[in-house]
Amino acid sequence: MTDAAAATDGEPLRVILAKLGLDGHDRGLKVVARMLRDAGVEVIYLGLRQTAATIINAAEQEDADAIGLSMHNAGHLTLAPRMVNAVKEAGLDIPVIVGGIIPDEDITELLDKGVAAVLGPGASTDEVIAAIRDSVPS
C-alpha cells in the first residue's frame, strides 16, 4: 500500500463504489475499482442498480471513508445530490465523489450541492486517490 492510499489513521482508505439508479454502464467503474485496489485502497464494489439505502447500508457496515458514484446517464444533477442528502440524513460524515460523463457546466452545481469532487473520463490513479484523500475528513 502506498502512503497515498492510507487514511489519516494509517489504515488503507475504504471506498464504496457503486452505480446509483438504472445506469447500466459499469466498465469505467470496474476500471476505477481495479486501479484503486492496485494502489492499496480497500474497495467495496457494489456494482449496478444500487439505491441510496443500499449504498448507505454498505458504507455503515464497511466503515467506509468515501462513496464513489459513477454517472453516465445524465442523472447526475438529480441522483448525486440525493445521495449527498441521504448520507447526511443517515448521520454519516462520508464524502460523495462522482465520476463519469459530467458536462463541465454541471460541475459547479454538483459541488454547490455537496458533492466532494467530480472526476471526468481519463482521470489518473493519482487524481482519483487525491480526490478521495482531499475529501475524507481528518
Query: For 6-25, what is the mean pLDDT?
Result: 81
Give the C-alpha separation, 33 to 29, whole Å.
Answer: 6
Q: Determine the pLDDT at residue 4.
A: 61
Query: For 41-55, what is the mean pLDDT?
Result: 94
pTM: predicted TM-score of the whole model, two decimal places: 0.91
3-state class (DSSP) for residue 16 = strand
pLDDT digits (tens, 9 = 90+) for 60-115: 999 999 999 998 777 888 899 999 999 999 999 999 999 998 999 999 999 999 99
Question: Which of 9, 96, 99, 12 lies closest to 55 in space, CA to CA?
Answer: 96
Q: Which three cell numbers stand for residue 18?
A: 457503486
CATH of the domain at 44: 3.40.50.280
- Quote the number of domains for the chain: 1
- Dmax over CA atoms of the chain, in Å, equals 37
What residues make up the domain containing 100?
Answer: 3-135
**Three-class HEC string of 96-116:** EEEEECCCHHHHHHHHHCCCC
Q: Determine the pLDDT at residue 2.
A: 56
Of 20-29, 48-57, 65-74, the range with the lowest mean pLDDT is 20-29
